Structure 1
Amino acid sequence: MHSILVAILAFSFISSAPAETAHPAEEQARPIERQLSPDEMTDIRAGHGRAMSLAAEINGYPGPDLVLGLSDALGLDDEQKREVEEIAAEMQTEAGELRARLAQQEAALDRAFADQTITPEGLSAAILEINRTQAQIRTAYLRHHIATAAVLDPAQRARYAELRGYSSPARQARL
């Protein structure tokens, strides 16, 4: 009986094994995309701050694009809307230039590995530049969140937090 159970268990493991996957080299055939997650690439290409500005977002410093999307619900007046539109345009321009630089830096790093010309010193320099650009992108987003919050009155900031689901009593007390 014991040998029958062992055989059944062994067969179930074999039959539930995943199908053969592609060779790792085939899975990584795309140059820059293989270095970044799909979400990171989407963010870079589309210009979304996502996690880069989460600390601001959940603590009462809303992003300009989201504020514009909620302008009616927030009761923005024409002047506020114009100011937030300017902030959003500035943010997209600044971050767009930085994202383009980041994409070029990632592509250069990829080429250095693909061409097998990478050195430890070159790697360190490339990573430092990539990290510097990522920090500049994050700074741009966060700075524009601060500017957007300054345009809103406390009631609008509280309403924004409520609409976005950030309206815990502790958070509201800080707004």
Structure 2
Amino acid sequence: MRSVPLVVGLTLGVAVVAVPAFAQSGHGHQHSGAPEAQAHRRVDAMQKEFDQVVADGRGFGLAFAADQNGYPGPLHVLELKDALGLTPDQEARVRALYQAMLADARPRAARLAAAEARLRAVFATGTADKAAVSAAVADTEAARAALRLAHLGAHLETRDLLTEAQRRSYQQLRWGPPSRP
């Protein structure tokens, strides 16, 4: 359950760091560029998947810090409702919270997508300078922060709907046994 977002997130992170370093290294000889092109296509595909998931209102790791540290998200609680032993009232409340989070997150996600498009356009139009890039990045990161807050807020509220025993069970089911220092 936890492996898909984690693997995709880690893969995207590694690809974003590794691809530029690989492309710049040159490896001491000339080659066709095919490996770099394939890597760029994989990163592009992952970025498109991220964009689609976020546009749908889902978090795709935006609330990972909360989920990993005892603040479960509503979607995952619903996925684990039987294992957690949710009461019908809890399930209804978590479901309502999830729907409210989606309704809040989708317009915020649209603002993030528009801000990202504006940032790309600054470069695509050849008008990039320090001021234009700074403004576009500030706009993009403000939109990302607003979206992330929508997801983190849902995690805060979800936690309050669960008993302490359900929170412990969730943590065990999603993240395994606690690690020892």
TM-score (norm 2): 0.71
Selected match of 1:64 from 70, 74, 79: 74
Q: CA RMSD in A?
A: 3.0
Runs of 4+ in 1 over 6 A off after TM superposition: none
**Higher mean Cα deviation, 103-112 or 138-147?**
103-112
1:125 to 1:163, Cα distance in 2 relative to 1, 3 A = same
1:42 to 1:19, Cα distance in 2 relative to 1, 3 A = farther
**1:124 maps to which residue?**
134
Unaligned stretches of 5+ residues in structure 1: 1-16, 171-175
Confirm or deny: 8 A CA contact 2:50 2:60 kept in the other structure.
Answer: no
Confirm or deny: 8 A CA contact 1:63 1:145 kept in the other structure.
Answer: yes
SS at match of 2:63: helix
Larger Rg: 1
Selected match of 1:141 from 144, 151, 164: 151
CA shift for structure 1 position 169: 6.7
CA shift for structure 1 position 50: 3.2
Selected match of 1:151 from 161, 166, 169: 161
Identity %: 34
Q: Which amino acid aligns with 2:113?
A: A
Q: Which amino acid aligns with 2:124?
A: A
SS at match of 1:52: coil
Confirm or deny: 8 A CA contact 1:44 1:103 kept in the other structure.
Answer: no
1:169 to 1:118, Cα distance in 2 relative to 1, 3 A = closer
Selected match of 1:51 from 61, 83, 86: 61
Offset from partner CA, 1:23-42 (integer Å, 9 cap, x none):
x89x979xxx86x8455434
Please tell me whether residue 112 in structure 1 is matched to residue 112 in structure 2: no
**2:171 maps to which residue?**
161
- How many residues align? The count is 150
Please tell me whether residue 74 in structure 1 is matched to residue 84 in structure 2: yes
SS at match of 1:141: helix
CA distance in 1, matches of 2:40, 2:82: 45
Q: Which amino acid aligns with 2:32?
A: E
Q: Which amino acid aligns with 1:69?
A: E
Confirm or deny: 8 A CA contact 1:95 1:137 kept in the other structure.
Answer: yes
CA distance in 2, matches of 1:107, 1:43: 17
1:125 to 1:18, Cα distance in 2 relative to 1, 3 A = same
SS at match of 2:166: helix
CA distance in 1, matches of 2:137, 2:158: 32
CA distance in 1, matches of 2:91, 2:147: 24
Unaligned stretches of 5+ residues in structure 2: 1-28
Offset from partner CA, 1:40-68 (integer Å, 9 cap, x none):
43443343323321111111110000000
Please tell me whether residue 102 in structure 1 is matched to residue 112 in structure 2: yes
Confirm or deny: 8 A CA contact 1:64 1:87 kept in the other structure.
Answer: yes
**2:33 maps to which residue?**
21
Confirm or deny: 8 A CA contact 1:61 1:148 kept in the other structure.
Answer: yes
